[in-house]
Structure 1
Amino acid sequence: MSSVSNNTPEPAPDEPSRATRMTIRRAPNLLAFLITGAILGAVGGFLFGLLGPESQYYTRGAIAGFFLVIGLVIGAGVGSVVSLIIDRVSLKRTRNVTAHIDDVHESGDRPGS
């Protein structure tokens, strides 16, 4: 009978893992709030321009376009301020954790370097 050889590598000797203190918190995405505020402001400004009072000097389209741009800028500003306020509130909900970092590469080399 032939013996079956075990081809699995031997486990590396246990090296102490490095412990690192980390802070975890959920932060809002500023760009998402900025874009959402700009879109909502543009839609609101456009509707205000279309449904607002008529002018004898400007067309309805020109008024709607003007208020669209104004609403876009104001909406982006409000969205960024809301994002900053939520970011400040999220600072109160931070958690400090200890992460154990283990080197999973046998030779210690990083792939691609």
Structure 2
Amino acid sequence: MSSMPHTTPEHASDEPSREEKMTIRRAPNLLAFLITGAILGAVAGVLFGLLGPESQFYTRGSIMGFFLVIGLVVGAGLGSVVSLIVDKISLKRTRDVTAQVDDVHDSGDRPGS
């Protein structure tokens, strides 16, 4: 059993609250852009390898594999560039808000500080 008293919402309302200014923005998910770019690049690479001209030195499978890898790398790179551009745009669309913060902890210390 714990010796610390539990704080309920009724007791939390007795404690003072404060207002803090915060910045809100929607940031893009970099991993999603990388994966999407890599998949699109891989599909383009496979299509280019399948529909491209024949070669007497390389098999169709090796040509397809080569363009698949190149498409993955180029697609992931383009996806990261698009993510950076979207992130830059989201920085311009930030909003400053004021939030009411209620401290429900027993000690006055903030977690993580």
Question: Common fold, TM-score beyond 0.5?
Answer: yes
> Residue 15 of structure 2 contacts residue 104 of structure 2 at CA under 8 Å; is this kept in 1?
no
Segments of 5+ residues of structure 1 without an aligned counterpart are 1-8
Per-residue deviation, residues 34-64 of structure 1 (Å, max 9, x unmatched): 0000000001001100110000000000000
Q: CA deviation at 1:108?
A: 4.6
Q: 2:4 corresponds to which residue?
A: none
Q: 2:86 matched to 1:86?
A: yes
Report how many residues are paired: 100
Measured on the aligned residues, the alpha-carbon RMSD in Å equals 2.0
Residues of 1 paired with 2:56 and 2:14: CA distance?
84
Greater gyration radius: 1
Q: CA deviation at 1:98?
A: 1.0
Segments of 5+ residues of structure 2 without an aligned counterpart are 1-7, 109-113
Q: CA deviation at 1:14?
A: 2.9
Q: CA deviation at 1:16?
A: 2.2
**TM-score, normalising length: structure 1:** 0.80
Q: 1:4 corresponds to which residue?
A: none
Q: Could you tell me which amino acid in structure 2 is paired with residue 96 of structure 1?
A: D
Identity in percent: 77
Q: 2:32 matched to 1:36?
A: no
Q: 2:15 matched to 1:15?
A: yes
Per-residue deviation, residues 54-104 of structure 1 (Å, max 9, x unmatched): 000000000000000000000000000000000000111100011111123
Q: 1:70 corresponds to which residue?
A: 70
> Residue 16 of structure 2 contacts residue 103 of structure 2 at CA under 8 Å; is this kept in 1?
no
> Residue 37 of structure 2 contacts residue 75 of structure 2 at CA under 8 Å; is this kept in 1?
yes
